Structure 1
């Protein structure tokens, strides 16, 4: 089955899952009509629309682990779990866009930017998260791995929130202190804010579904996927500055938002005293002239070349880790499929 066919099948499940959540809200919790309409629009506006790599990875990993095509029921359940990851992502993004005061997400205005929404988006993000557990209860409560899924999701959610907290307190928008930006702190933020839920979570879910019990298998998966997740976030930082907004679906704001970005860390490492003064004067300023000054310095420091060299080294390291993997523990194909999706990506 081609990727486009997999995506089409995956998307076809979404409306069923929205209906499942709405059924509980209406028939168990007496949600009135105006709230029903609001909740439905919240889910349909914020959950679909991304690349769906996280959700699709649950399905593809499960099939690789079983070593055969999935039955209709297996496919549907894997898709439900895949959507639970996409639901979790939406919960994070709705909240994150407010924290960062972002303007667009996935080619449309951020949910909170809609005049009728504004700060209601805070509660809407909670509703998106809560919906995940309605779906898990309906489709997995009788499965032996149900508690494993709940534990995994709660742990990953908490870890992601810790990563977001460190990101926010390291670089508050109203207090610029570039001495706080270190590669060590950046790696910790990336590990917990992005890598765990974007890479480890989908694979671990599929492993639980497939009946994997060996702790060494989960440890091996975690090690490789954390490496991959770190590269993914560095790539995301690069695209925030150099990606085409029409392609990536958002306007990059890391410079304006005082983000502890991989690019600014590289710039601080490479800059001489005069160049550092430029960063201190212009980084985290909202005006276009300051953003342009920072980007001009990035160009002077050849950060595009620095990223390209890093990408090659990262891919070589990841390839080595995969080749050294004990295939009796977990198939290499699980990780090579991930690598194909992210390296050299443009969005």
Structure 2
């Protein structure tokens, strides 16, 4: 039953997004056909892939605390906005990371740089691509607000949920800034890397979506909120730790984005920081020489990957993932939430960390 219901929420969210985006693109076309044409790769990014984890966590967070028989159609629309917020973050993140591929296709900034080159337009193609990708990311943020506002939920409920939504966005920006700052300033240790994971991913992927969904139900008992927070932080951090492992050990054909980018960018992930702390002097010299080298060869990255494994950093991160999932599931087991939601949230937690993409 769990797989069916989780997939059902994802399918309903995708349906809402498809209908909403079609109407929004028509609005853009009325402004100028060129603007609607520019939005096509963005709508494709939203609709062609993604696990819909954030809307699913939000939906089941709502379902866990709402009265039986409540109409969920407005809620599906509201939580669908989290997928648009995610697309906004992806567009900007890809620009900051200079990523070439997202979900198996060229990133937005690469797509529009290629359009510029093919068209023989004036100016710098890469600058044009970056500019358009930033604008499209901003457009997605506006669309997210519009979808929440037109969900059909009562204004007082939306106001309360908006406080959670705004906190989520602020924390995501804070985490992204700390990620950029630590990459530029050098290693700040494992504790700093965990903090980035908490703000950049735990809050934005699990904890705040849960709280957002709960807020859509109206006033929620404090003990339910506290349990959601414990579950959300633990599972959200585990999600990011899995992402770090996939960024080094995954397969591009499966993940849909280049493997090894985190190493070439010198991102101070928990995995990388643990490797630095556990490495021998010779291994540490290799890490210092290669991590953050944009021109590092595949062979050099393979050496780094071998060091990360040999020093025990990967195994330790796997242990951290297991410990966090166990803690999250324990918090959820004791939470005063409806049993169907408890089962679905447990399934989502496992899906979030037992993944190859």
State TM-score, norm by structure 1: 0.87
The match for 1:132 is: 144
Indicate conservation of the 8 Å contact 2:230/2:328, yes or no: no
Contact 2:231 2:327 in 1 (8 A): no
Residue 324 (structure 2) pairs with residue 283 (structure 1):
no
How much is the aligned-residue C-alpha RMSD, in angstroms? 2.6
Cα distance in 2 for partners of 1:92, 1:38 equals 18
Alignment of 1:186-201 (within 5 A): 186-201=193-208
2: CA distance, partners of 1:151 / 1:189 = 22
1:13 to 12, 16, 22: 16
Q: Is the Cα contact below 8 Å between 2:237 and 2:324 reproduced in 1?
A: no
- Give the one of 276, 285, 301 matched to 2:311: 301
Quote the residue 1:259 is aligned against.
267
**Larger helix percent:** 2
CA drift at 1:105: 0.9
For structure 1, the 5+ residue unaligned runs are none
Q: CA deviation at 1:324?
A: 4.3
Partner of 1:77 in structure 2? 74
Give the Å deviation of 1:10.
Answer: 2.8
Map of 1:118 onto structure 2: 129
Taking the TM superposition and a 5 Å limit, the aligned residue runs for 1:23-172 are 25=28, 31-46=31-46, 48-66=48-66, 68=68, 71=71, 74=72, 76-114=73-111, 115-116=114-115, 118-119=129-130, 120-140=132-152, 142-172=154-184
Post-superposition Cα deviations, 1:19-70, rounded to whole Å, max 9, x if no partner, equal 34345556xxx62222122234423334551111212233333334336466
Q: What is the CA distance between 1:223 and its match in structure 2?
A: 2.4
What is the count of residue pairs matched by the alignment? 336
**Larger mean Cα displacement after TM superposition, 205-214 or 306-315:** 306-315
The 5 Å alignment of 1:305-320 reads 305-320=315-330
Partner-residue secondary structure (3-state), 1:118:
helix
**For the structure 1 residues 5 and 35, does the alpha-carbon distance in structure 2 shift closer, same or farther, using more than 3 Å as the test?**
same
Q: Which runs of no fewer than 5 residues in structure 2 stay unpaired? A: 116-127
Structure possessing the higher relative contact order (Cα contacts under 8 Å, 6 or more residues apart): 2
